[in-house]
Amino acid sequence: MRPRLLVITGATAVGKTDLALELAQRLDGEIISADSRQIYCQMDIGTAKPTPEQRAVCSHHLIDIAEPDETISAGQIQHLIADAHAGIAARGRLPMLVGGTGQ
């Protein structure tokens, strides 16, 4: 059987992060960011990254993993998401893919 994946998507500022955090606590989940801008370090303003307090609630993946001058392709992101998903599932936890539209 393939590992489960819970997906939460929607427009910016509709409450995805709060919902994801609540579900992660209830369902023993870890959050994988599917936001193309949250991968970059030093880009906290305008990206709606989870706060340090929110990140302390559960493990987050693919946030602050690249420098702003690095180019990351969609294919690279796909592989990073797949790797995070596999690692989370291997630990017996629920992978949760969370992202928005940036609008």
d(CA 95, CA 23): 11
pLDDT of residue 56: 94
Residue 102 has pLDDT above 80, yes or no: no
pLDDT of residue 41: 95
Query: 46 falls in which pLDDT band (50, 70, 90)?
Result: confident
For the whole model, what pTM was predicted? Answer: 0.91
Domains (ranges, CATH) in the chain? 6-100 (3.40.50.300)
| Mean pLDDT calculated for residue range 60-67 | 97
- Higher pLDDT: 47 or 85? It is 85
CA distances from 19 to 41, 42, 43 (A): 24, 25, 23
